[in-house]
Amino acid sequence: MRRILAVVVLVAFLPVVHDAWGQTASMNATAVEIVQLPRFCWAQFQVPNADGDEFRMLECGPATNHYCGGLIELIRAKHSTSKSSRLDLIQRADANVSYTERGINNYPRCSIREHVAATRAEVNNLLVTYGGKRPSAR
């Protein structure tokens, strides 16, 4: 049932996200990748009609501009069939998450703080799993 619901949601969003395809050329993010992102990334990827607060990272500062790109790299890493490519993508996601973590330090009311912490844990786990350098304590 969950898979059917996920497919229905994906199909419903494809026309909207397809329009944003041209706006994400710098990352070459696909529509399928964009719909996997949290809604607060949609404004950054210029998804049409994604202009309300739920589509933005509120009170987080300018360093969050790397976070959604890091999430795209994480999505790609999870689907990569090449171990070296997977590790490279995870390491790039790690760098973008680190940049975001440092950037939001001075923004205690940042709306994505919990999401960033969960992503940090996931990236750390994947780095260990796929032979990447275990990050130092943060």
34-43 confidence digits (pLDDT tens): 999 999 998 8
Burial call 12-37: b when 16+ CB within 10 Å, e when fewer: ebeebbeebbeebeeeebbbebbbbb
Angle at 110 between CA 136 and CA 54, to 5 degrees: 125
Give the integer Cα–Cα distance in Å for 67 and 99: 8
Shared domain for 24 and 78, answered yes or no, is no
Shared domain for 64 and 129, answered yes or no, is yes
**Tally of domains in the chain:** 2
Give the integer Cα–Cα distance in Å for 123 and 120: 5
Give the integer Cα–Cα distance in Å for 10 and 25: 20
Give the integer Cα–Cα distance in Å for 133 and 35: 30
Average pLDDT over residues 83-102: 94
The whole-angstrom distance between residue 99's C-alpha and the CA centroid of its chain comes to 13
Amino acid, res. 129? T
Question: What's residue 136's pLDDT?
Answer: 61
Question: 95: pLDDT confidence band, cut at 50, 70 and 90?
Answer: very high
Question: What's residue 66's pLDDT?
Answer: 93
Shared domain for 63 and 131, answered yes or no, is yes
Average pLDDT over residues 116-127: 96
Question: 18: pLDDT confidence band, cut at 50, 70 and 90?
Answer: very low
pLDDT score of 12 more than 90: no
Shared domain for 62 and 126, answered yes or no, is yes
**Cβ neighbours around 44 below 10 Å, total:** 19
Question: 73: pLDDT confidence band, cut at 50, 70 and 90?
Answer: very high
